[in-house]
Structure 1
Amino acid sequence: MTKEYVTDERRLLHGGDYNPEQWKDYPEVLEQDIELMKKSGVNTVSVGMFSWASLEPKEGVYDFEWLDQVFDRMNSIGGKVILATPSGARPAWMAKKYPEVLRVDSLRRKQLYGARHNHCFTSPYYRSKTQEINHKLAERYQNHPALLVWHISNEFGGECHCDLCQEAFRGWLKTRYNNSLEKINQAWWGPFWSHTITDWNQIESPSPIGENLVHGMNLDWKRFVTDQTIDFYKNEIVPLREVTPDIPITTNFMSDNPEFIPFRGLDYSKFAKEVDVISWDAYPAWHNDYEETYELASKVAFINDSFKSMKQKPWLLMESTPSLVNWHQYNKPKRPNMHYLSSMQILAHGSDSNLYFQWRKSRGASEKFHGAVVDHDGSAENRVFKEVSQVGATMDELSAKIVGTQRKSEVGLLYDWESDWALEDAQGFGLTTKHYPQTLQKHYQAFWEKDIPVDVITKENTFEDYRLLVVPMLYLMSEETIQRLNNFVANGGTLVSSYITGLVNERDLTYLGGWKKELQEIFGIEPLETDTYYPGDSNQIVYADQTYTVKDYATVIEVKNADILARYTSDFYAGTAAVTSNEYKKGTAYYIGARANEAFNRDFYNQLIEDLDLKPLLKVEHNIGVSVQGREEADQTSIVFIMNFTEEKQIVNIIEKAQDSFTGEEVTGEITLQPYEVKVVDKII
């Protein structure tokens, strides 16, 4: 893929998931769609992801005329098409004739036809058919001016345990362990409970029948699922690369809901390497009753920045809702102005699009009450349509300033899928209080509240791109990662880590002899034991003459060379170190031994921000709940979004020179933001 920008015209993409195949018997609706798209500022639609039965109603019988009309209609209004491959849901004739395409669950039960995302990634027939239909799509639309992006399948996830997948798993293991059962038994600690493997056919995928206590196998199975999913994806794109080499390719990533943490089913750090542009589907439960709006906004920002950081370039929001969803436990519509605010947040954190699911509400089936731009009334006068139109108009004005620009950061926060899998599987600590991704989001929030840009990186990223690395709870840590962290600090970097870090290697085997000597040298300490608290337990630490509450975990630390920054106040380790810092060669390493409250995170990181002289893109004084984020051009000009994620008026003070991005009027000094209001400004250099 050779395009510098996803959009040829450097235009922000506004639109979303369009399902005209559901409306082929309603030509007046399809005509109305085009008029409404023009009114709402829609310039891009994504089509085809669940259209296989319409594209190939019988085996070998194809119908592309309805799709031709979509392309031509979009082209007539200057719009673009993101064309999806239809593998996310196979037609009924295929499931009936070729049952191997249907997934088998972990209890070894063949799933019946229905739903979606339940196909076998290993099935030779399904792989052949996806290539066949994709080749026909590529040949038909390769020269159409409306074709913009290929969208592969939809929200990859899940796993299959059929015989084909069992054999593929064994083949994957043979490659990983050089065809050696001895190496597998070493990696999986085979003698434990007589789990030694003596023949390849004895290996099967994990099942809930039994206790699944071979953690090394569980970890390898999750790795295999990621690799097999990617392999299926790579099989899909072969004809697209051959026929349309200049059309970028993506697939839509996800988050885990309702907690709104990174999706745990696949290792996206691996998958990101295979797509030309990152895209993802964001469905936060705004206005819920269990967290403040700004806390959820911080979680959204965390995941935005993780996808931005994977390829270090702008990404696409492929799906969101302009109003509500139909699959949360309680499906509450966005309040007035929230859609505009959440859309601007997406742009502020690096997206070159704001796309919706869905354009028009389905008339029947499970998504008839899922939010959409066009409701069942077909009206341009309802609140949601008007708010979408407002977003479209704003995006049109901002396009020239934003498309292709970056968000630069001096702070990297490391998230690791394999470590998350291994820690979640570990039978130790608090089985329900590990909260690895949630903990990282809390560390991130301390920077977000101070408007300091953060890259949420993986171990694949280059550590030396950052001045500060924050690496909490990295339970699984290979010797290679340890050495890279050593080099980072030795060469002048600042590192922050925490309890439950560096306990096992990449095979989920503990390090013999206690904490690795290299880690002891970096941090100047040795963690001796981890105290796990019951929900009613707590402790306190004293840091900078302030007292903070500790819940869940406290590490008992032996100090070797480090300075003690905080001490425990209670229990048998009262008075001992809870937080330390250590000068190691040219850099500094901090160790946070306890899970302290948010007040500690704020105060600790605020001091670090001051010590390292980390600066926001635009200096603005404000209360918690207001976020200031932005993007920079190569010439260092900046566009900044000042966003109020509270239900109250907020007075903010813009310290540096800035002007309104739309009127050019200077806005330096105090301004008032209404609830959910956004002010978009240009920083004056």
Structure 2
Amino acid sequence: MEKNILFPKLNGFVHGGDYNPEQWLDRPDILEEDIRMMKKAGVNCVTLGVFSWSVYEPREGEFHLEWLKKIMDSLYENGIYTILATPSGARPAWLDKKYPEAMRVGKNGQRNHHGVRHNHCMSSPEYRKKTALIDNLLAEKFGQHPGLIMWHVSNELGGECYCPLCVERFQKYLADQFDHDIDKLNQAWWTTFWSHRYNDFDQVEPPFANGEGSIMGLNLEWRRFTTWNMNDFMNSEIKVLKEVTPDIPVTANFMMLYNGLDYRKMAPSLDVISWDSYPRYNNDYESFYETMTENAFHHAVMRGLKKDKPFMLMESAPGLVNWHPYNKVKRPGVHKLACMQAIACGSDTAQYFQWRKGRGSFEQYHGAVVDHLGKDDTRIFREVAEVGALLKKIAPAAGTLVKAKTALLFDWDNRWAIQDVKALSENTKNYEKTCIGIWKEFQKLGVEMDVVGSSDDLSDYKVVVAPMLYLLQSGTTENLQKFVKNGGQLLATYFTGYVDKDTLCYLGGFPGDGLAELFGVISEEIDTLYSSDRNSLCFPDGKKWTVYDYAEILRVQDAQILASYGTDFYEGSAALTVKEWESDTHTGENGRAYYIAARVAPEEMGSLFETMLADAGIAVKDLPGEVEYHQRQGEDTTYEFYLNHGKEKSLIKNVTGRNLLTGEDINETLSLAAYDVAVICKQS
């Protein structure tokens, strides 16, 4: 497997983060000191210009970029490269005063005032013109700078706009989606209910706070439109940059499982995926291991958006953040673990927000490498410098990839539809929690699991889990059928295949669209349990799993019953089934379609997961309870990452290879101290 190096000039991993020298132009002594300390911390790249528009263009048409050139020159002369952002994430006051259409309109129909950030209308022609002008100027002035390695488009794109321009755009978007046939829309959205039929697309309004919110198809299509509109805006910026600098890669920093945009739709426009990670470390409601492995899930989500190259950790806090409910400082050792976890999961960067704390405004107390103290002998600075040194030791691993054989299906459309559906319980749907919980169980077994969409190619995987796949996209059934008939092991859960892409219920039983044949079962009812209710899933050998929240009552067609309900009026009826399919590939490996009809804690399902993995020929690892494991693969070298999130030393068996961080050769047992990391290099 060949490497895919993101930045050949760096010859290793990127280490750095957001740098805001425009806040310190009156302090040349500080700017000079910054470069000295960056070199000491092993920083080889910084991100400039994220929120610099009012300094670039303090008055309309008056541009000042000389300071940026001076900073980029100085950085490059000292071996530090630049990721240059477009400044569209926050606008200068003069722009909003002259072009008020650039400001968003909220769900209440009122236009926002100037302020904060991410407050622009994606549809505004004037704002697009002003953005294109400044982007083009930056590309022309700095596109050939030897220190420039990447464009960073805007910042944490998000939000929605209900202004007249966006409403009109939404109506045109709908007309295109439904072939300019309003009857198709009415049928898809079932608008005869409550007499909500439309006669023309110009009658359709977005789901205003005081307007139409009872049509699930409308609510879902508005979310899709918001992604489409934001993607179109992002592409308008990318187009300007690519016309001038076609060879400079482009990214945009995503935000965890951000609910407002479907990142799968935006990812193809970007050369590299990047995201911002801010877990609530050392909280009081879960173990540190649980916090860390949930963060690993989010890394896997981002990795799955573009699996053929490493992703980027664009932002993380070196110490604390200033916007959590409790802004707790990272404990000693956590920073190293967090950065190395990102690398282990497939990132080729460890980057921070921010390099130096600002003296005032909203993020004056947000963590940074350099505190208001301004010294390089602080604990946080030392830990950042330690990461810089570690990244140099494992530089050969840059460009390698995580190659998983198992996958979890997670769709934004499905997520939105579940959030909106008037069914089940408003308090316990927990789609995201369900997906994360299952993913973590595979992680505990030392099995890497990608997070993919239901329309993604599944041919590289041997085991696929599709939790709560309530909404089926066009082609989802065919994709899952092909996977199983090619020998794959598939698990689906309750609440699968209830509606089509427009949220219309399937007729003839759930799961619909042919999935009932694939699994050999039909769900006749779904029972929603109160928090005090419990049932059980009983196996023939006497083993029991506890059922809570949801339980479907199945009609079994031609599937094998593996477990049945233990109580209630559906006692003895099927709760876990499997249908075996002879492989179409003539490999002798039969596919299996498992269906679990009730919600069971993921940790109780471990034996089922192990059975599926064994049938797929995937080995599990014997890991101590709080050790996280990942593997990156190069052309002839494998890099195994072990991270100990526990407070005690761990001993990991069956480990062989050289620990790149210590230089030690490991022949059988790896001893890993609390909050420590090992990177084991193995030649194939």
TM tier, smaller: over 0.9
Q: Which residue of 2 aligns with 1:208?
A: 209
**Shift in alpha-carbon separation, 1:165–1:517, aligned structure 2, 3 A:** closer
Kept in 1: contact 2:454–2:479 (CA 8 A): no
In 1, Cα distance between equivalents of 2:502 and 2:377: 58
Q: Which residue of 1 aligns with 2:21?
A: 20
Match of 1:551 among 544, 548, 552: 548
What SS is found at the alignment partner of 1:508? coil
Report 1:19-418 matches (<5 A). 19-210=20-211, 212-255=213-256, 262-312=257-307, 313-399=309-395, 401-418=396-413
Q: Which residue of 2 aligns with 1:533?
A: 529
In 2, Cα distance between equivalents of 1:143 and 1:200: 47
Kindly provide the amino acid, as one letter, of the partner of residue 284 in structure 2.
D
Displacement of 1:4 in angstroms is: 5.4
Report 1:659-670 matches (<5 A). 659-670=658-669
Match of 2:602 among 588, 598, 601: 598
Instruction: Percent identity, please.
Output: 44
What SS is found at the alignment partner of 1:465? coil
- In structure 2, the gaps of 5 or more residues are 584-590
Question: Deviation per CA, 1:312-334, whole angstroms, max 9, x where unpaired?
Answer: 12011100011110000000011
Displacement of 1:612 in angstroms is: 2.3
Kept in 1: contact 2:639–2:680 (CA 8 A): yes
Kindly provide the amino acid, as one letter, of the partner of residue 35 in structure 1.
R
Question: Deviation per CA, 1:50-105, whole angstroms, max 9, x where unpaired?
Answer: 11000000000000011112211110111110000000000000011111000000
Question: Deviation per CA, 1:29-70, whole angstroms, max 9, x where unpaired?
Answer: 111100010110001000111110000000000000111122
Displacement of 1:663 in angstroms is: 4.5
Q: Which residue of 2 aligns with 1:611?
A: 615
TM-score of the two chains, using structure 2 as the length reference: 0.96
Question: Deviation per CA, 1:565-598, whole angstroms, max 9, x where unpaired?
Answer: 1211111111111111111232110001111123
Kindly provide the amino acid, as one letter, of the partner of residue 138 in structure 1.
A
What SS is found at the alignment partner of 1:311? coil
In 2, Cα distance between equivalents of 1:130 and 1:287: 41
What SS is found at the alignment partner of 1:510? coil
Kindly provide the amino acid, as one letter, of the partner of residue 507 in structure 2.
L
Kept in 2: contact 1:486–1:518 (CA 8 A): no
CA RMSD of aligned residues (A): 1.4
Kept in 1: contact 2:655–2:666 (CA 8 A): no
Displacement of 1:600 in angstroms is: 1.6
Displacement of 1:683 in angstroms is: 2.6
Question: Deviation per CA, 1:174-233, whole angstroms, max 9, x where unpaired?
Answer: 111111111111111111111111133321110222561111001110000000000001
Kindly provide the amino acid, as one letter, of the partner of residue 478 in structure 2.
Q
- In structure 1, the gaps of 5 or more residues are 256-261
Question: Deviation per CA, 1:126-165, whole angstroms, max 9, x where unpaired?
Answer: 0011110000000001211000100000001000000000
Q: Which residue of 1 aligns with 2:588?
A: none
In 2, Cα distance between equivalents of 1:38 and 1:290: 38
Kept in 1: contact 2:454–2:473 (CA 8 A): no
Question: Deviation per CA, 1:340-365, whole angstroms, max 9, x where unpaired?
Answer: 01111000000000000000001001
In 2, Cα distance between equivalents of 1:219 and 1:518: 23
Q: Which residue of 1 aligns with 2:656?
A: 657
In 1, Cα distance between equivalents of 2:175 and 2:212: 25
Moved more, 267-276 or 175-184: 175-184
Q: Which residue of 1 aligns with 2:586?
A: none
TM-score of the two chains, using structure 1 as the length reference: 0.96
Kept in 1: contact 2:463–2:613 (CA 8 A): no
In 2, Cα distance between equivalents of 1:394 and 1:599: 34
Displacement of 1:682 in angstroms is: 1.4
Aligned length: 671
Moved more, 563-572 or 500-509: 563-572
In 1, Cα distance between equivalents of 2:655 and 2:12: 29
Displacement of 1:117 in angstroms is: 0.4
Q: Which residue of 2 aligns with 1:583?
A: 580
Displacement of 1:28 in angstroms is: 1.1
In 2, Cα distance between equivalents of 1:662 and 1:353: 17
In 2, Cα distance between equivalents of 1:297 and 1:409: 19
In 1, Cα distance between equivalents of 2:204 and 2:609: 47
Question: Deviation per CA, 1:273-321, whole angstroms, max 9, x where unpaired?
Answer: 1000000000011111111111122211111112112211201110001
Kept in 2: contact 1:361–1:368 (CA 8 A): yes
Question: Deviation per CA, 1:609-648, whole angstroms, max 9, x where unpaired?
Answer: 23322136xx5x332221111211022x211111111233
Kept in 2: contact 1:657–1:684 (CA 8 A): no
Moved more, 202-211 or 363-372: 202-211
**Shift in alpha-carbon separation, 1:599–1:455, aligned structure 2, 3 A:** closer
Please say if 1:437 is aligned against 2:436: no
What SS is found at the alignment partner of 2:73? helix
What SS is found at the alignment partner of 1:352? strand
Displacement of 1:440 in angstroms is: 0.8
In 1, Cα distance between equivalents of 2:463 and 2:165: 46
